[in-house]
Structure formats: C-alpha cells, structure tokens
Amino acid sequence: MEADRLLQYQAWDMLSGRIWPELGGQPGYLDIIGVNFYPDNQFMLDGTTILRDDPRYRPFSRMLLEVWQRYRRPLLITETGSEREARASWLAYVASESELALAQGCELQGITLYPVVSHPGWEDDRHCQNGLWDYADDRGERERHEPLAQALRAWTPRLLKARRAMLEAKHPPVTTGPLNSASSLP
C-alpha cells in the first residue's frame, strides 16, 4: 500500500534523477513543483474517496511538507477548488493547511484557485458551479459567489503574513553592530 502511494512521486523522481538516472534526469530540472489538490484527491485503489472525517485522511499540510522535504524545491498549489456551497469552506481548509505548512518551513509560493469562472463539466456538459464567477447571463455579466470572495479576502493577508514569516525564519535579516572607533570616518 505504501509502495502504491509513493508512485505519485515517480515522474518527479525521474526528472530529478533520483530514480533511473540513465534517463538523464538531474536535480536542476525540478526547479518548482506544482501540486493540485481537490476534495476527492484522496482515494483507495478501488476508487473509493477518503473523506476528511475518515481517520485514513492525510491532512493537506502533511502532504505539502512531505513534497517539500522530499525535493527541497519551492511549491505552488497549481489547482484547487470545490463545487457549489463547498467552495468557500474548501478554500478555507486549503488555506489553513497551507498556513500550517508555511509555519513549518515549507516554501509555498502561492495558491491558484481553479477555476476562476464556472465551466461545463469535463466528462459531461453539466453546469459546474465551482468558480468565483458563474456563467455569463444574457448581458454578459457574471454573478460572483460571495462566500468564496469573502474567503479569498480573509485568507490572502493571513497567507502573505505566514509566507513572510517563513521567509524571515529561513533568511533572517542581516544586522550590523555599531561602527567601532577604528573603522569610523574622521
């Protein structure tokens, strides 16, 4: 089971030369890592989704830290989002877990809300209500999903503050003491 879970790293391991170096992978090929995370991303081999209230569910912060510790490369959450009324609470979950990962040193560069505009389903033409803005009406105007907009407004400054704190912990500002009399100018 653990071996199956670790297969998720195989492409990055090949790119970085960690496995099958004869393919020409090198650490420099992996400069930034993008991860996607959705509510149904944790599942069993039979396709059963592991929900957040399930004891087998791995907190997203642990997953981010695992990727960070494995590769020591900056991370981006390149896609995340949920549908209908779960949009704001999902963003809050991802943001709070990101804040935890940042506090533990994960070099998270940002989060991409995906999609920003609701769209037809990938496997069917259903109306996916998953964007910050919904489908355009007859006048070309889009209704904004206010709970998601509020979550974005609330979490943006918190995450910026957490990122600044992470960067300062990794690279403390250089301080210089007062000039001594031998080095001061006359």
Rounded distance between C-alpha atoms, residue 10 and residue 20, angstroms: 10
pLDDT at 171: 82
Q: Does the bond joining 186 to the residue before it have cis omega, within 30 degrees of 0?
A: no
Strand partners, 119: 128
Task: Find out whether 66 and 26 touch, Cβ atoms under 8 Å.
Answer: no
Residue pLDDT tens, the chain, 186 long: 788 888 899 999 999 999 999 999 999 999 999 999 999 999 888 989 999 999 999 999 999 999 999 999 999 999 999 999 999 999 999 999 999 999 999 999 999 999 999 998 888 889 999 999 999 999 999 999 999 999 999 999 999 999 999 999 988 776 665 554 444 444
Q: Which of 100, 98, 80, 99 is nearest to 90 (CA)?
A: 80
Residue 181: predicted pLDDT: 46
pTM of the model as a whole: 0.87
Report the sign of the C-alpha dihedral through residues 166, 104, 33, 25, in that order: positive
CA 134 to each of CA 22, 79, 92, 149: distance values in angstroms, whole numbers, following the listed order: 48, 18, 20, 12
DSSP 73-88: --EEEEEE---GGGHH
Using CA atoms, how far apart are residues 18 and 28, in angstroms rounded to an integer?
12
Q: What is the pLDDT of residue 175?
A: 65
User: How far out from the chain centre does Cα 171 lie?
Assistant: 22
